[in-house]
Amino acid sequence: MNSLKNLFENQQAVLADGAMGTSLFEAGLQFGDPPDLWNILHPDRVRAIQRRYIEAGSQIILTNTFGGTRFRLKLHKLDGRVHELNQAGAENLRAEVRASGKPVLVAGDIGPSGEIMAPLGDLTFDAAVDGFAEQAAGLAAGGVDLFWIETMSDLDEVRAAIEGARRAAPQLPIVCTLSFDTHGCTMMGVTPETAAKFMRDQGLFAGGGNCGNGSDEMLEVVRRMHAAEPELIVVAKSNAGMPVLVKGKAVYQATPDEMGEFAVRARALGARLIGGCCGNNQNHIQAMATRLQDTEYEPQAPAAAGAAPAPAKKAPVQRVNRRRAT
Protein backbone atom coordinates (compact mmCIF):
# COMPACT_ATOMS: atom_id res chain seq x y z
CA MET A 1 0.00 0.00 0.00
CA ASN A 2 2.79 2.42 0.90
CA SER A 3 4.51 2.24 -2.46
CA LEU A 4 1.21 2.87 -4.22
CA LYS A 5 0.43 5.82 -1.95
CA ASN A 6 3.92 7.21 -2.41
CA LEU A 7 3.47 7.30 -6.16
CA PHE A 8 0.64 9.79 -5.76
CA GLU A 9 2.39 11.97 -3.22
CA ASN A 10 4.95 13.43 -5.58
CA GLN A 11 2.92 13.97 -8.72
CA GLN A 12 -0.54 14.99 -9.82
CA ALA A 13 -0.95 12.13 -12.29
CA VAL A 14 0.47 8.60 -12.33
CA LEU A 15 0.88 6.82 -15.66
CA ALA A 16 -0.52 3.34 -16.19
CA ASP A 17 0.00 1.11 -19.23
CA GLY A 18 -1.71 0.63 -22.59
CA ALA A 19 -3.52 -2.34 -24.11
CA MET A 20 -2.55 -5.93 -23.48
CA GLY A 21 -5.15 -7.65 -25.69
CA THR A 22 -4.50 -5.75 -28.89
CA SER A 23 -0.74 -6.05 -28.31
CA LEU A 24 -1.04 -9.82 -27.90
CA PHE A 25 -2.86 -10.08 -31.23
CA GLU A 26 -0.01 -8.17 -32.83
CA ALA A 27 2.40 -10.63 -31.24
CA GLY A 28 0.64 -13.55 -32.88
CA LEU A 29 -2.27 -14.48 -30.63
CA GLN A 30 -5.10 -15.86 -32.75
CA PHE A 31 -8.72 -14.91 -32.25
CA GLY A 32 -10.27 -17.43 -29.85
CA ASP A 33 -6.96 -18.41 -28.23
CA PRO A 34 -6.83 -18.05 -24.43
CA PRO A 35 -4.50 -15.06 -23.81
CA ASP A 36 -3.82 -16.12 -20.23
CA LEU A 37 -2.23 -19.37 -21.41
CA TRP A 38 0.53 -17.30 -22.96
CA ASN A 39 1.83 -16.70 -19.41
CA ILE A 40 3.07 -20.29 -19.66
CA LEU A 41 3.45 -20.80 -23.44
CA HIS A 42 5.04 -17.47 -24.40
CA PRO A 43 6.15 -15.56 -21.31
CA ASP A 44 8.82 -13.87 -23.44
CA ARG A 45 6.23 -12.31 -25.73
CA VAL A 46 4.06 -11.12 -22.85
CA ARG A 47 7.09 -9.68 -21.07
CA ALA A 48 8.22 -7.91 -24.25
CA ILE A 49 4.92 -5.99 -24.34
CA GLN A 50 5.26 -5.08 -20.67
CA ARG A 51 8.92 -4.10 -21.13
CA ARG A 52 7.92 -1.60 -23.80
CA TYR A 53 5.41 -0.04 -21.38
CA ILE A 54 8.08 0.22 -18.69
CA GLU A 55 10.41 1.89 -21.19
CA ALA A 56 7.63 4.28 -22.26
CA GLY A 57 7.17 5.45 -18.67
CA SER A 58 4.32 3.37 -17.20
CA GLN A 59 4.46 3.37 -13.42
CA ILE A 60 1.76 0.75 -12.88
CA ILE A 61 1.40 -2.20 -15.25
CA LEU A 62 -1.29 -4.88 -15.41
CA THR A 63 -0.62 -8.60 -15.52
CA ASN A 64 -1.83 -10.63 -18.50
CA THR A 65 -4.67 -12.20 -16.54
CA PHE A 66 -7.78 -10.41 -17.80
CA GLY A 67 -9.57 -13.71 -18.49
CA GLY A 68 -8.07 -15.56 -15.54
CA THR A 69 -11.20 -16.56 -13.65
CA ARG A 70 -12.51 -20.11 -13.78
CA PHE A 71 -15.58 -18.72 -15.58
CA ARG A 72 -13.59 -17.61 -18.62
CA LEU A 73 -10.92 -20.28 -18.52
CA LYS A 74 -13.67 -22.90 -18.58
CA LEU A 75 -14.37 -21.89 -22.18
CA HIS A 76 -10.90 -23.23 -23.02
CA LYS A 77 -11.05 -26.19 -20.61
CA LEU A 78 -8.40 -24.45 -18.52
CA ASP A 79 -10.49 -23.91 -15.39
CA GLY A 80 -8.35 -26.40 -13.51
CA ARG A 81 -5.33 -24.13 -13.97
CA VAL A 82 -6.56 -20.84 -12.51
CA HIS A 83 -3.94 -20.60 -9.77
CA GLU A 84 -1.05 -21.59 -12.04
CA LEU A 85 -1.90 -19.20 -14.90
CA ASN A 86 -2.48 -16.24 -12.61
CA GLN A 87 0.62 -16.89 -10.54
CA ALA A 88 2.66 -17.16 -13.75
CA GLY A 89 1.15 -13.91 -15.03
CA ALA A 90 2.20 -12.11 -11.86
CA GLU A 91 5.66 -13.70 -11.76
CA ASN A 92 6.38 -12.78 -15.39
CA LEU A 93 5.62 -9.12 -14.83
CA ARG A 94 7.42 -9.10 -11.48
CA ALA A 95 10.52 -10.51 -13.20
CA GLU A 96 10.32 -7.91 -15.97
CA VAL A 97 10.00 -5.08 -13.46
CA ARG A 98 12.93 -6.41 -11.46
CA ALA A 99 15.05 -6.62 -14.62
CA SER A 100 14.21 -2.99 -15.46
CA GLY A 101 15.44 -1.72 -12.11
CA LYS A 102 12.53 0.75 -12.06
CA PRO A 103 10.01 1.14 -9.24
CA VAL A 104 7.07 0.02 -11.38
CA LEU A 105 4.12 -1.52 -9.54
CA VAL A 106 2.60 -4.86 -10.56
CA ALA A 107 -1.21 -4.76 -10.75
CA GLY A 108 -3.02 -8.09 -10.79
CA ASP A 109 -5.58 -7.77 -13.56
CA ILE A 110 -9.06 -9.15 -12.81
CA GLY A 111 -11.55 -8.92 -15.69
CA PRO A 112 -15.27 -9.65 -15.75
CA SER A 113 -16.57 -13.20 -15.46
CA GLY A 114 -18.32 -12.96 -18.81
CA GLU A 115 -21.47 -14.26 -17.10
CA ILE A 116 -24.57 -12.47 -15.93
CA MET A 117 -25.19 -12.28 -12.21
CA ALA A 118 -28.33 -13.77 -10.65
CA PRO A 119 -31.22 -13.12 -10.63
CA LEU A 120 -30.96 -11.93 -14.26
CA GLY A 121 -28.42 -14.61 -15.06
CA ASP A 122 -27.04 -17.80 -13.56
CA LEU A 123 -24.00 -16.65 -11.62
CA THR A 124 -24.76 -16.44 -7.91
CA PHE A 125 -22.98 -13.90 -5.75
CA ASP A 126 -21.27 -16.58 -3.64
CA ALA A 127 -20.05 -18.48 -6.70
CA ALA A 128 -18.70 -15.25 -8.15
CA VAL A 129 -16.83 -14.43 -4.91
CA ASP A 130 -15.31 -17.93 -4.89
CA GLY A 131 -14.17 -17.58 -8.49
CA PHE A 132 -12.61 -14.16 -8.02
CA ALA A 133 -10.96 -15.25 -4.75
CA GLU A 134 -9.37 -18.18 -6.55
CA GLN A 135 -7.91 -15.89 -9.23
CA ALA A 136 -6.78 -13.32 -6.67
CA ALA A 137 -5.00 -16.00 -4.64
CA GLY A 138 -2.95 -16.98 -7.71
CA LEU A 139 -2.08 -13.34 -8.38
CA ALA A 140 -1.09 -12.78 -4.76
CA ALA A 141 1.09 -15.90 -4.80
CA GLY A 142 2.86 -14.42 -7.82
CA GLY A 143 3.62 -11.24 -5.89
CA VAL A 144 1.31 -8.50 -7.16
CA ASP A 145 1.38 -5.10 -5.41
CA LEU A 146 -2.31 -4.41 -5.93
CA PHE A 147 -5.41 -5.74 -7.68
CA TRP A 148 -6.97 -3.97 -10.67
CA ILE A 149 -10.58 -5.00 -11.32
CA GLU A 150 -11.48 -3.76 -14.82
CA THR A 151 -13.92 -3.52 -17.71
CA MET A 152 -16.82 -4.15 -15.34
CA SER A 153 -20.47 -3.18 -15.94
CA ASP A 154 -22.39 -4.60 -12.99
CA LEU A 155 -21.79 -3.32 -9.45
CA ASP A 156 -22.90 -6.66 -7.98
CA GLU A 157 -20.13 -8.36 -9.89
CA VAL A 158 -17.66 -5.68 -8.79
CA ARG A 159 -18.75 -6.24 -5.19
CA ALA A 160 -18.09 -9.96 -5.63
CA ALA A 161 -14.66 -9.30 -7.14
CA ILE A 162 -13.74 -6.96 -4.28
CA GLU A 163 -14.86 -9.49 -1.70
CA GLY A 164 -12.93 -12.24 -3.48
CA ALA A 165 -9.78 -10.11 -3.70
CA ARG A 166 -10.01 -9.20 -0.01
CA ARG A 167 -10.58 -12.78 0.98
CA ALA A 168 -7.42 -13.83 -0.87
CA ALA A 169 -5.18 -10.94 0.15
CA PRO A 170 -6.80 -8.43 2.50
CA GLN A 171 -3.63 -6.34 2.71
CA LEU A 172 -3.51 -5.44 -0.99
CA PRO A 173 -5.08 -2.21 -2.29
CA ILE A 174 -7.70 -2.37 -5.04
CA VAL A 175 -8.21 -0.20 -8.11
CA CYS A 176 -11.43 -0.66 -10.07
CA THR A 177 -12.49 0.63 -13.47
CA LEU A 178 -15.84 0.20 -15.20
CA SER A 179 -16.55 0.36 -18.89
CA PHE A 180 -18.90 3.30 -19.49
CA ASP A 181 -19.76 2.35 -23.03
CA THR A 182 -23.54 2.78 -23.20
CA HIS A 183 -24.75 6.41 -23.45
CA GLY A 184 -22.32 7.50 -20.73
CA CYS A 185 -23.29 4.64 -18.40
CA THR A 186 -22.16 1.04 -18.15
CA MET A 187 -24.04 -1.64 -20.06
CA MET A 188 -25.92 -2.34 -16.80
CA GLY A 189 -26.90 1.30 -16.41
CA VAL A 190 -24.41 2.46 -13.76
CA THR A 191 -23.75 6.22 -13.95
CA PRO A 192 -20.34 7.77 -13.24
CA GLU A 193 -21.77 9.39 -10.10
CA THR A 194 -23.12 6.10 -8.72
CA ALA A 195 -19.84 4.39 -9.54
CA ALA A 196 -17.79 7.07 -7.80
CA LYS A 197 -19.85 6.87 -4.62
CA PHE A 198 -19.74 3.08 -4.67
CA MET A 199 -15.95 3.07 -5.02
CA ARG A 200 -15.53 5.47 -2.11
CA ASP A 201 -17.95 3.47 0.05
CA GLN A 202 -16.04 0.30 -0.72
CA GLY A 203 -12.79 1.88 0.39
CA LEU A 204 -11.02 1.30 -2.92
CA PHE A 205 -7.67 2.93 -3.51
CA ALA A 206 -8.82 4.40 -6.84
CA GLY A 207 -11.66 4.04 -9.30
CA GLY A 208 -12.70 5.20 -12.73
CA GLY A 209 -13.24 4.07 -16.29
CA ASN A 210 -11.48 1.94 -18.85
CA CYS A 211 -12.24 0.88 -22.43
CA GLY A 212 -15.43 2.60 -23.66
CA ASN A 213 -16.03 4.69 -26.76
CA GLY A 214 -12.90 6.75 -27.03
CA SER A 215 -11.40 9.68 -25.21
CA ASP A 216 -14.20 12.28 -25.47
CA GLU A 217 -16.65 10.09 -23.58
CA MET A 218 -13.94 9.11 -21.08
CA LEU A 219 -13.24 12.77 -20.31
CA GLU A 220 -16.89 13.27 -19.48
CA VAL A 221 -16.80 10.22 -17.17
CA VAL A 222 -13.75 11.69 -15.40
CA ARG A 223 -15.41 15.06 -15.02
CA ARG A 224 -18.57 13.57 -13.53
CA MET A 225 -16.80 11.15 -11.18
CA HIS A 226 -14.45 13.84 -9.89
CA ALA A 227 -17.34 16.26 -9.36
CA ALA A 228 -19.33 13.62 -7.50
CA GLU A 229 -16.47 12.41 -5.27
CA PRO A 230 -13.60 14.93 -5.21
CA GLU A 231 -11.62 12.75 -2.76
CA LEU A 232 -11.62 9.70 -5.04
CA ILE A 233 -8.47 9.05 -7.05
CA VAL A 234 -10.07 8.94 -10.49
CA VAL A 235 -8.71 6.59 -13.15
CA ALA A 236 -8.95 7.17 -16.93
CA LYS A 237 -7.80 4.38 -19.22
CA SER A 238 -9.36 5.17 -22.58
CA ASN A 239 -9.36 3.24 -25.80
CA ALA A 240 -7.44 4.79 -28.70
CA GLY A 241 -10.62 6.07 -30.29
CA MET A 242 -13.34 3.92 -31.77
CA PRO A 243 -12.31 0.80 -33.65
CA VAL A 244 -13.10 0.36 -37.31
CA LEU A 245 -12.96 -2.94 -39.13
CA VAL A 246 -10.24 -3.12 -41.73
CA LYS A 247 -9.97 -6.46 -43.49
CA GLY A 248 -11.70 -8.15 -40.57
CA LYS A 249 -9.36 -6.63 -37.99
CA ALA A 250 -10.26 -4.02 -35.39
CA VAL A 251 -8.13 -0.96 -35.99
CA TYR A 252 -8.03 1.86 -33.45
CA GLN A 253 -7.49 5.24 -34.97
CA ALA A 254 -6.35 7.66 -32.28
CA THR A 255 -2.74 8.68 -32.77
CA PRO A 256 -0.15 8.93 -29.98
CA ASP A 257 -0.43 12.74 -30.20
CA GLU A 258 -4.17 12.57 -29.68
CA MET A 259 -3.77 10.29 -26.67
CA GLY A 260 -1.11 12.61 -25.27
CA GLU A 261 -3.65 15.42 -25.51
CA PHE A 262 -6.24 13.18 -23.86
CA ALA A 263 -3.90 12.57 -20.91
CA VAL A 264 -3.40 16.29 -20.29
CA ARG A 265 -7.14 17.01 -20.52
CA ALA A 266 -8.00 14.06 -18.26
CA ARG A 267 -5.55 15.34 -15.65
CA ALA A 268 -7.05 18.83 -15.88
CA LEU A 269 -10.52 17.37 -15.24
CA GLY A 270 -9.37 15.47 -12.15
CA ALA A 271 -7.96 12.11 -13.29
CA ARG A 272 -4.90 11.07 -11.31
CA LEU A 273 -4.22 7.62 -12.77
CA ILE A 274 -4.09 7.76 -16.56
CA GLY A 275 -3.38 5.21 -19.26
CA GLY A 276 -4.77 3.56 -22.35
CA CYS A 277 -7.01 0.60 -23.08
CA CYS A 278 -7.65 -1.14 -26.43
CA GLY A 279 -5.57 0.16 -29.32
CA ASN A 280 -2.94 1.94 -27.24
CA ASN A 281 0.63 0.73 -27.62
CA GLN A 282 3.92 1.95 -26.18
CA ASN A 283 3.97 4.94 -28.55
CA HIS A 284 0.67 6.19 -27.14
CA ILE A 285 1.94 5.74 -23.58
CA GLN A 286 5.21 7.46 -24.44
CA ALA A 287 3.27 10.42 -25.85
CA MET A 288 1.16 10.58 -22.68
CA ALA A 289 4.29 10.54 -20.53
CA THR A 290 5.90 13.33 -22.52
CA ARG A 291 2.83 15.54 -22.62
CA LEU A 292 2.07 15.09 -18.91
CA GLN A 293 5.64 16.01 -18.08
CA ASP A 294 5.94 18.95 -20.44
CA THR A 295 2.56 20.53 -19.77
CA GLU A 296 1.82 22.44 -16.61
CA TYR A 297 -1.00 21.04 -14.51
CA GLU A 298 -3.96 23.39 -14.73
CA PRO A 299 -7.05 22.08 -13.00
CA GLN A 300 -10.29 22.73 -14.79
CA ALA A 301 -13.23 23.31 -12.48
CA PRO A 302 -16.07 20.84 -13.03
CA ALA A 303 -18.43 23.79 -13.46
CA ALA A 304 -16.37 24.93 -16.41
CA ALA A 305 -17.23 21.79 -18.23
CA GLY A 306 -18.61 23.76 -21.13
CA ALA A 307 -15.05 23.51 -22.30
CA ALA A 308 -15.28 19.77 -21.88
CA PRO A 309 -16.10 17.69 -24.91
CA ALA A 310 -19.52 17.65 -26.42
CA PRO A 311 -21.20 14.24 -26.45
CA ALA A 312 -19.31 11.98 -28.80
CA LYS A 313 -20.33 12.23 -32.41
CA LYS A 314 -21.90 9.14 -33.79
CA ALA A 315 -19.14 8.00 -36.08
CA PRO A 316 -20.28 5.93 -39.03
CA VAL A 317 -18.13 3.01 -38.06
CA GLN A 318 -18.82 -0.60 -37.53
CA ARG A 319 -18.76 -1.58 -33.88
CA VAL A 320 -16.69 -4.59 -32.99
CA ASN A 321 -16.70 -6.69 -29.88
CA ARG A 322 -14.18 -5.17 -27.51
CA ARG A 323 -14.99 -7.19 -24.46
CA ARG A 324 -12.59 -9.98 -25.20
CA ALA A 325 -9.50 -7.90 -25.37
CA THR A 326 -8.48 -4.90 -23.39
User: HEC states along 293-316?
Assistant: HHCCCCCCCHHHHHHCCCCCCCCC
- Measured from the CB atom, the residue of 38 and 252 that comes closer to Zn ion is 252
Min CB(181)–Zn ion separation in Å: 9
Binding mask 205-234 for Zn ion (x = CB under 5 A): ------x-----------------------
Nearer to Zn ion, 64 or 326 (CB): 326
Question: With contact defined as beta carbons under 8 Å apart, do 39 and 64 qualify?
Answer: yes
Q: What is the secondary structure of 13-76 as a DSSP string? A: -EE----SHHHHHHTTPPTTS-GGGHHHH-HHHHHHHHHHHHHHT-SEEE-S-TT-SHHHHGGG
Site for Zn ion in 244-283 (CB under 5 A): 277-278
User: Closest CB to Zn ion among 87 and 186?
Assistant: 186
Task: Classify 230 as helix, strand or coil.
Answer: coil
User: Residue 290 carries which side chain, given as an amino acid letter?
Assistant: T
Q: Considering the complex, what minimum distance in angstroms separates the CB of residue 213 from Zn ion?
A: 10
Q: How far is the CB of 242 from Zn ion (least distance, A)?
A: 11
Q: Does 186 bind Zn ion (CB under 5 A)?
A: no
Separation of alpha carbons 253 and 275, rounded Å: 16
> Minimum Å distance from CB 239 to Zn ion?
5
CB 282, min distance to Zn ion, A: 16
Size of the site for Zn ion (CB under 5 A): 4
- The reply on whether position 326 binds Zn ion by CB under 5 A is yes
Whole-angstrom Cα distance, residue 237 to residue 250? 18
Q: In terms of CB distance, is 161 or 277 closer to Zn ion? A: 277
Dihedral angle of Cα 55, 61, 62, 64, to the nearest 10 degrees: 20
What is the rounded CA–CA span in Å between residue 263 and residue 181?
A: 19
Residue 108 or 142: the one with the smaller Cβ distance to Zn ion is: 108
User: Interface with Zn ion by CB under 5 A: which residues?
Assistant: 211, 277-278, 326
